[in-house]
Each structure stands twice: as structure tokens, then as C-alpha cells.
Amino acid sequence: MSRNASSDAAGARLGTLSAGEEIVRLREVTKAFDDGTVALAPISLRVRAGEFVLFLGPSGCGKSTIFRVVAGLAEPTTGSVEVLGGTPAQARASREVSYVFQDATLLPWSRVRDNVRLPLALRRVDRQTTEAEVDRALELVGLLDRGDAYPHELSGGQRMRVSIARALVTRPKLLLLDEPFGALDEITRQKLQDELLAITSREPDTTVLFVTHNVFEAAYLASRVVVLSPGPGRIVADLQTDASSRTAAFRESGEFAQL
Ligand code: ADP
Ligand code: MG
């Protein structure tokens, strides 16, 4: 991968991706916590640019731990991790990796726009670019008119949409979504599913790793499903999905309802 560092070091792009390039590589990764809990048995996984990989598995099997390792928020105990051709920490310092965790919180004292602006502000992106990107991200999640609201003035679904806008504002190449829609009502959930599919079809190199317990969501969104065993997590199935399921028509069909 070419890695033309720009002068804007903190927000530097890591380089251009070619279609199908491997952007996540986990080799024999294990994770044991200080209290002795083993969260991951050796996990090996390769993800290519443009894949929408859904992780299914019982609670406690290590899904969030995998995401934290990929995001550079936790170190593996053994094994190696490569993200966008570098270490997870390097990828995290770039603008290329964004994540939304289930407990994603907004800064309560900051308006919606300021929350969404944060990843760009931290990377000292110029003001004009920043404002245009904040508009774009808020538009994507349908909240352009709520930019001046404070988080407590929004519903739970709207707050989650702000978290997603904050993740999208950097145009990440890799998006980690850990049960992002779990707490939302069905209508909001479907709207966000559609938005996510629209984003990934518009930007086909965007790679998404997604955790859900919802099998309908899995069929609708994913191009690939990785199934983990009860902890310590181990990959027991790794399947390509049928692309024809990734349409609203499929979701609305009886076939989908009976899955
Ligand atoms: P999942 O997201 O699939 O529900 P997690 O990755 O959150 O699973 O957790 C995997 C296992 O690791 C669980 O047994 C959990 O209790 C344990 N675990 C997660 N984080 C920690 C931690 N910081 N300290 C100790 N154990 C942890
Ligand atoms: Mg979890």
C-alpha cells in the first residue's frame, strides 16, 4: 500500500486502497484480561476493502473485544493485528477508522454540530472543510436541522444517529459498529439500515464490521457473516451472503419476515 504522508500529520490519510485489498488482518489473536478471563481463543481473520462483515455470537463470546483490538483500544495478548497496512494505533490516529459502540456517548454540554465536528477538530482539519463535512454527515443521518440542539433535547434514536454522523464525518475506510441499533425502535432501525446500505453503495470501498443479535439485520446488511462460538471466542463459520438479500424489496418480502 502506498503511504503518502501529508503534511497534516495527525489527520493524514494512510494511502489509497485498491479494490479487494486486505485491510484487516488478525493472525492467531488471543486476549486474556488481568483477572484471568480469556475472551478470545486464537482468532485469524482477513477482511477485504468493501466487505460488510457481520459478527454473530452469544453475549460474552468476544465480539466487542475483537472490535477493541482492531480499533487499537486494546492490545492482543498474543498474535498480531494489522489494520490498513499498519498497526491499529496508526490506523486510529489517521482519519481512516471510526467506531460506534453500543454505549457511545456524546458530550452532553456540546451541541450536535460540535459533537460531530470533534474528530476533525482533534485532527486540526481546516474550518471550511470541517463545516462542509459536518453538514454532509448530518445530512446522511437526517439531522441537518438539529445541529444546534443539545444531546438531551434529542431522542435515543437521534442521539445514536449523531454518533453515527460523528463516525462518518471523517469518511473512514473502516467503520466498526458494535450493536449500534440495539436500543432503537424498529422504524429508526430500518431507516439507519437503509442509510448504511446507501453509504456503502455510494462509497463501495468503505469496509464495515458490524455486531448485531438481529438475524434480520444480518441478512439485510452483510456481505459476509462470521459466527463465533460461546467464549472464549472462536470462529465457527465464515459465510458469504447472497447479495440479493441486500435490497429493501427483500426486506419487505415475506421471505425476509420468515427468516
Ligand atoms: P461480547 O461483545 O461478544 O458480548 P466481550 O468482548 O465484551 O463479548 O467480552 C468477552 C469476554 O471478556 C466476556 O467474558 C467478558 O466478561 C470479558 N471481558 C470483557 N472486557 C473485560 C475486561 N476489561 N476485564 C475482564 N474481562 C473482560
Ligand atoms: Mg459486546
Cβ proximity of 229 and 237 under 8 Å: no
User: Which atom of ligand 1 is the closest one to the Cα of 74?
Assistant: 23
The SS3 of residue 230 is coil
Per-residue pLDDT for the chain (259 aa), expressed as one digit of tens each? 343 433 343 444 555 566 678 999 999 999 999 998 999 999 999 999 999 999 998 999 999 999 999 999 999 999 999 999 999 999 988 888 999 987 668 999 999 999 999 999 888 889 999 999 999 999 888 899 999 999 999 988 889 889 989 998 998 999 999 988 877 778 878 878 888 888 888 888 889 999 988 877 777 889 899 999 987 889 999 988 876 666 666 556 555 444 3
The verdict on the CB of residue 62 being under 6 Å from ligand 1 is: yes
Q: How many CA atoms lie within 13 A of 11 on its CB side?
A: 16
The verdict on the CB of residue 36 being under 6 Å from ligand 1 is: no
Q: Which ligand is nearest to the CA of 228?
A: 1
CB burial string 186-215: b at 16+ within 10 A, e below: eebbbbbbebbbebbeeeebbbbbbbbebe
The verdict on the CB of residue 33 being under 6 Å from ligand 1 is: yes
Nearest CA to ligand 1 atom 7: 64
Q: Provide the whole-model pTM.
A: 0.85
Cβ proximity of 172 and 95 under 8 Å: yes
